[in-house]
Structure 1
Amino acid sequence: MTTTTTSTTSTPAAQASPKHTESALPARATVPARISGERPTTGVPFTRLVHVELRKMLDTRAGRWLLIGIAAIIAVALTIMFFNNGGQHSFGDYLQATTMPMAIILPVVGILAVTSEWSQRTGLVTFGLEPRRIRVAWAKLVSALGVGVGAFALAVALAGIAHQAAITFRGIDADWSIGGLVLLGAAGYVLLGVAQGVGFGMLFKNTPAAIVVYFVLPTAWSILGSMVSWLRTASEWLDMNQTMNPLFQGSLTGEQWTHLGASVALWVVLPLAVGIWRLTRSEVK
């Protein structure tokens, strides 16, 4: 049995055929025409960044449930005051009942506004669209303070409705007397807590750690300051639970202002400064 092998050898003329060479080369890419019009010279507007951060805080499941929880606590507090002592409470008392839950829980919304970039891994999108992280940090702080202002305005409205309802349905004596400085002090109480929450969120960038430290550390400091004698003087200067109480009275002495400034520098300004520094230098994965 024999096997015949046939080999075909192409000639140089065939290899250099113009048609063969033309078909082997890729098609020439065409350059798109230049888009007419002016080129953008500015980045993302700061107002748009604030709007986006507001959406992150309010248009999420965690944010909504926190606000629902605050509303439920305020409703319970106003109901108790409405039936307690015949509803005989001043407008200032009702305002304190609506302000305190906000001052305690609203800072958590500020914490989530910062830590969500790392816990939900949205940082790549956020800092990809706006590489200047310092602007994102300020947008988070401004939007959180905006939520605080809106919440305080709602607290004033709810306190007024509750007091008027007690006047109408319980027959109490109207007492709308409240000073403008008291209102400003109550607003400052809420906004300082929100700013502190944002600072702790930037400092730790982890939701559980920021929330635990925010509630435990100042509380532990207050307990130690009240129990340990040699810490009482320092506690008068650095315990925000003590230094912010005169805000509801509407009048602070020079010494009280100094104490408030020292405690705010420690618990609000310092975490914000270090947190913004970390936010602008942390690696986003």
Structure 2
Amino acid sequence: MTVTELTSPATEAAVPGKHRAAVSSALPPARGQSFLKLVTTELRKSVDTRSGRYLILGIIAIALAALGWQLTHMPTGPSAFDDFLSAASTGVVLLLPVIGVMAMTSEWTQRTALTTFTLSPRRVRVQLAKFVSAIVLSVVLLTVTTLLALLATAIGGATGSDGTSYAGMGGALAGAYLTNALNVVMGAAFGAVIAQTAVAILVFFVAPTVWSLAGTALFKDNADWLDVFGAFGRIAERDMNGMLPETLTALAVWIVLPTIVGLWASSRREVK
């Protein structure tokens, strides 16, 4: 009786294997995170922080203040949407790139890189999701300011005596959206390269400004090849003015090159 109750070593080895097979078959298959999931996660992270919310509120507040000033200082003639859109875009142009910078530096300055890249080891996909989320958020904010500009234009036309003018509205909006998207990508690229929020913001604002001031004095007309502000202005006005090569070169140097370097640096930066 005792002999028949004993199990052979082969049987004992087989039982754990069957158990493991049953457990593994009961577990759902592992799935990688979709890129859309990464983008929505990064969007939520951008607005969940106090600094992110204050920045968004600051952009809207500046837009409202600029539109209020425009309404109280309207020139003679019809209420022009282009004028109100330019006024409302002031805060957007100044502060939207900071969203891009903060999106790229948050993992390193808030010391969450270890958690993020443990859950999503493919760093380049995470960084690209940050780029996309910053662009999406900038589009949303620019749409809000555009609606405010439309409302202010209507108010100006109703309170004035010359009506309203929406001439060139489509072109103005296309130029504004494209310029602001490029501006945000440029800020995100600087954030990816430097990875420290304060330093990245400082360099983002100072470096192009210094070049626009000193470049003309040093290189005369050749400074246009690296003048990113001039490139943005031509894109916003939908007029290259015969300077398409200079515009593309400035965008490549200030946006494309930092983006490539930033993605490379982020993929090799030590996680602590």
Would you call these one fold, judging by a TM-score over 0.5?
A: yes
Contact 2:193 2:262 in 1 (8 A): yes
Aligned mate of 2:220, from 232, 238, 253: 232
Runs of 4+ residues over 3 Å off in structure 1: 35-39, 85-89
- How does 1:175-214 map onto structure 2 within 5 Å? 175-214=165-204
2:32 aligns to what SS in structure 1? coil
For residue 257 of structure 1, the aligned residue among 240, 244, 252 is 244
Match of 1:66 in 2: 55
Aligned to 2:270: 283
Deviation at 1:100, TM superposition (A): 2.9
Q: Which stretch shifts more, 107-116 or 179-188?
A: 179-188
Counterpart CA distance in 1 for 2:76 and 2:37 is 45
Larger CA deviation: 90-99 vs 36-45:
36-45
Q: How much has 1:39 moved relative to structure 2?
A: 4.6
Q: C-alpha separation between the residues in 2 aligned to 1:235 and 1:152?
A: 30
Number of positions where the alignment pairs a residue of Structure 1 with one of Structure 2 = 254
Using the aligned pairs only, state the percent identity: 36
The alpha-carbon distance between structure 1 residues 87 and 204, as it changes in their structure 2 partners (threshold 3 A), is farther
Normalised by the size of structure 2, how large is the TM-score? 0.87
Aligned to 1:132: 122
Q: Match for 1:55 among 27, 35, 44? A: 44
- Code of the residue aligned with 1:71 in structure 2: it is I
Shift of the alpha carbon at 1:87? 7.7
- Indicate conservation of the 8 Å contact 2:80/2:166, yes or no: yes
| Equivalent residue for 2:93, pick from 93, 100, 103 | 103
Cα distance in 2 for partners of 1:172, 1:121 equals 56
Query: Could you list the per-position Cα deviations for residues 62-101 of structure 1 after superposition, in whole angstroms to 9, with x for gaps in the alignment?
Result: 1111111111111111011101036854100111111232
Cα offset, 1:235, TM superposition? 1.9
- From 239, 248, 254, give the equivalent of 2:236: 248
Partner Cα distance (1:225, 1:44) in 2? 45
Amino acid at match of 2:209: T
The letter of the residue matching 1:277 is W
Determine the structure 1 residue equivalent to 2:253: 266
- 1: distance between equivalents of 2:244 and 2:208? 19
Q: Deviations over 1:197-239 (max 9, x none)?
A: 110000000011101100111111111024x1x4222321111
Distance 2:180 2:195 in 1: 22
| Structure number having the greater helix percentage | 2
Structure 2: distance between partners of 1:80 and 1:87: 15
Does the 8 Å CA contact 1:118/1:206 hold for their aligned counterparts?
yes
RMSD across aligned C-alpha pairs, in angstroms? 2.0
Matched, 1:143 2:130: no
Q: Normalised by the size of structure 1, how large is the TM-score?
A: 0.83
Structure 2: stretches of 5+ with no match in the other structure: 1-15
Q: 1:44 corresponds to which residue?
A: 33
**Counterpart residue number, 1:169:** 159
Deviations 1:130-176 (A, max 9, x none): 00101101100111111121122222211110000111123342111
Give the superposition deviation at 1:263.
Answer: 0.7
Of structures 1 and 2, the larger Rg is shown by: 1
| Residues 81 and 169, structure 2, Cα contact 8 Å, conserved in 1 | no
Contact 1:104 1:193 in 2 (8 A): no
